[in-house]
Amino acid sequence: MNNIGAADISDAGATGVGRAYATALRRRLGVLGLLGVAVLASLIADIAVGPAAISPPALMHALFSPAAAPPETVLILWQIRLPYALMAACVGGALGLAGAEMQTVLANPLASPFTLGTSAAGAFGASLAIVLDWHVGGVPQTWLVAGCAFVFAVIGVVVLDLLTRLRPADTGTVILCGVALVFCFQALVSLMQFVASEDTLQDLVFWTLGSLNRATWPAIALLGAALACVVPFSLRAAWGLTVLRMGEERAASLGVDVPRLRRAALLRICLLSALAVAFVGIIGFIGLVAPHIARRLVGEDHRFYLPASLLGGAFILSTAALVARVLVPGVVVPTGIVTALVGIPFFLAIILRRQVLS
């Protein structure tokens, strides 16, 4: 994390303000620590709970000594539960971070990869690759689908950015353009479903429902690597994003290269949301809900807000994934359905609260 300023506090500590600021910093770092612990706890619960009743000691044994553990336990742990749990945390974190950056660069608290069509665009790209059965020599299908989802997610974000720039955009305009994109890409996904063969239709339904069941280690590695690459750049841009949140003209006047900052943020948003949708389909509302919770917990100093949104997203999706498995005994409900059911009331609450405030 870039320059929290904790070292400087001692000098300012002589004053009450210095002490209050140091306390606020400690509190926020504490909140981040608690969120980290919560993510870890939900991850452990995700691994421990499942239809096959495996005791925690057996799981630990299979985790640390797979060669000596029963093969079926090793298979369940390493091929089902661990990928499922880790993918939930990675996708949640990616969508949480992407949502937080999106809300800042589009100056809109209702922005998220799901509500503004990025996820739908990515799903269309992925379904295009599946239905047309594209192959590029030597490239595995998983990566090709992810690449195609990425390209269309970029197109979705760029189109949204252009639409909102054609006319001076207020909050409503951005949302309406995003809703238009959602409908447009959902119609295209439906078209793909219509022309798809029976074999590929099942794959396509997967995109629209959003499910963690197909998590694989290469996909987790790719998403994890993307997160590891993006997070340092996000944190490096934290000050600029904080100033941008104060107003675009103010940021520009204070020397922030706004177009460059915005382009870089949109690229990060594309990368994270496109990879997330490419591997697990459309998971709604995480990118919307996590930033709002992070804002409540640590405020909008992006040094804290971005990591809190990432951890919050990871925690919410991890918990939702757990709920999706225990909701109906013996059946794993697609996680996208669970997040949507929880997210829609939250979405309405934000809109109603904004109307009351205005």
Partner 1 sequence: MNAPASDTGLMAQNLFVSHGRRMVLHGVTVGPFGPGTLNAVLGPNGSGKSTLLRAMSGLVPLRGAVTLDGQDLGRLRLPARSQRCLYLPQSLPEPMQITVIEAMMAARHVMPAPVRQQAAPSPPAALPDGRGTRVSTIGTAGSTLPGVAADPTGCAGQIARGSLPNGTSSGPEAALAWLEHMGIAHLAMRGLRELSGGQRQLVGLAQALSRRPRALLLDEPLSALDPYYQQRVMDLLAHEARETGLVVVLVLHDLNMALARCHNASVLNDGRIEASGPPETVLTPALLRRVYRIDACLDTGASGQRFLSVRGVAPAPRSMA
Residues that bind partner 1 (CB under 8 A): 3, 5, 8-9, 11-12, 15, 17-18, 20-21, 24, 239-240, 242-243, 245-247, 249-257, 295, 299-301
Q: Least distance to partner 1 from the beta carbon of 36, Å?
A: 21
Cα–Cα distance measured from residue 94 to residue 88, given in angstroms and rounded to the nearest whole number: 10
Q: Which is nearer to partner 1, 108 or 335 (CB)?
A: 108
What 3 state SS string does 218-262 have? Answer: HHHHHHHHHHHHHHHHHHHCHHHHHHHHCCHHHHHHCCCCHHHHH
Q: Least distance to partner 1 from the beta carbon of 102, Å?
A: 16
Cβ distance 227 to 272 under 8 Å? yes
Q: Which is nearer to partner 1, 107 or 205 (CB)?
A: 107
Q: Least distance to partner 1 from the beta carbon of 356, Å?
A: 15
Cβ distance 241 to 265 under 8 Å? yes
Q: Which is nearer to partner 1, 292 or 325 (CB)?
A: 292
Q: Least distance to partner 1 from the beta carbon of 107, Å?
A: 8
Cα–Cα distance measured from residue 119 to residue 307, given in angstroms and rounded to the nearest whole number: 22
| Torsion, CA 200, CA 202, CA 207, CA 208, rounded to 10 | 130
Q: How many residues would you count in the chain?
A: 358
Q: Which is nearer to partner 1, 135 or 250 (CB)?
A: 250
Q: Least distance to partner 1 from the beta carbon of 108, Å?
A: 12
Cα–Cα distance measured from residue 9 to residue 126, given in angstroms and rounded to the nearest whole number: 50
Cβ distance 192 to 128 under 8 Å? yes
Q: Least distance to partner 1 from the beta carbon of 267, Å?
A: 20
Q: Which is nearer to partner 1, 15 or 190 (CB)?
A: 15
Q: Which is nearer to partner 1, 103 or 211 (CB)?
A: 103
Q: Which residues pair with 92 in a beta bridge?
A: none
Q: Which is nearer to partner 1, 254 or 349 (CB)?
A: 254
Extract the tokens encoding 212.
């963690």
Q: Which is nearer to partner 1, 251 or 289 (CB)?
A: 251
- Report the 10 Å Cβ neighbour count for 267: 14
Q: Least distance to partner 1 from the beta carbon of 259, Å?
A: 9
Cα–Cα distance measured from residue 354 to residue 28, given in angstroms and rounded to the nearest whole number: 25
Cα–Cα distance measured from residue 239 to residue 174, given in angstroms and rounded to the nearest whole number: 24
Extract the tokens encoding 329.
């005994």
Q: Least distance to partner 1 from the beta carbon of 163, Å?
A: 19
Cβ distance 127 to 204 under 8 Å? yes
First-last CA distance in the chain: 35
